[in-house]
Amino acid sequence: MTHQIETLQRFIDEAEKIVFFGGAGVSTESGLPDYRSNTGTYTELERQQLDPKKIMSKRYLLNYPEKFFNRPNTRKKTEVPKPNAAHLYLAELEKQGKDVRIITQNVDGLHQAAGSKLVVELHGNNRHFHCMECGREYKLNEIQRDEQNIPRCPIDNGIIRADVILFGENLKPGILDRAKELMASSDLLIIAGTSLTVNPSKNLIRYFKGKRVVVINKTPLTIDLPVDLAIEDAVGKVFQQLTV
């Protein structure tokens, strides 16, 4: 066990309330792509001279639904992502009685699949769906698609979309306040797998008033808070070396 891992283990053991603030890099070891790395979803769109903020917006969805729902996917649809070492460790830590609060920018539900009970999903989720016309809710296996591969409501032919926050949309009421509350009342903040470049998520860390800040990311971050420990490595790899 390296000195950095030993220090992280000590921080976790000594903390009473841990807030884990995670981004796409938390799920890459589960087979999901991140956004802003060299092979990320946003980076790939930019290589094609496309603006991610335009392509992944509500306006684009409404104006060009066929293009929106037929974007190339870097992951085969038959693959089912599973929680990795990071998700499993945090869930087990909570199961053993540690107060672990998770604030995630991800929509994949892997924290819940691992067993975590307190998860705030800032950007919604890709597990629940609704019709944009009538609001009817659908499960994934209930969705019917038309000849252009656009998911349609059988009642009014409205577009069915996932409950994911797209560019240009506001977070759901209460979500940001809940995240601020959890951030402000924790004594250890672990920032993992995120570039901290998206608002309002990146401003959440300013509400942390606790004792220690840890950053786990493959690339260095410049943040407004003093950092007590910075580990440049894959998130799951780091948590795999810890003990509950």
Give the whole-angstrom CA distance, residue 196 versus residue 104: 12
The Cα 10–Cα 86 span in angstroms is: 17
- Round to whole Å and give the CA distance between 235 and 226: 20
Sheet strand arrangement including 124-131: 137-138, 124-131, 160-164
Which one of the listed residues 3, 111, 123, 130 is annotated catalytic?
123
User: Distance between CA 60 and CA 78 in Å, rounded?
Assistant: 26
Total H helices, total E strands in the chain: 9, 11
Q: Is 130 a catalytic residue?
A: no
- Report helix, strand or coil for 97: coil
Catalogue the active-site residues: 123
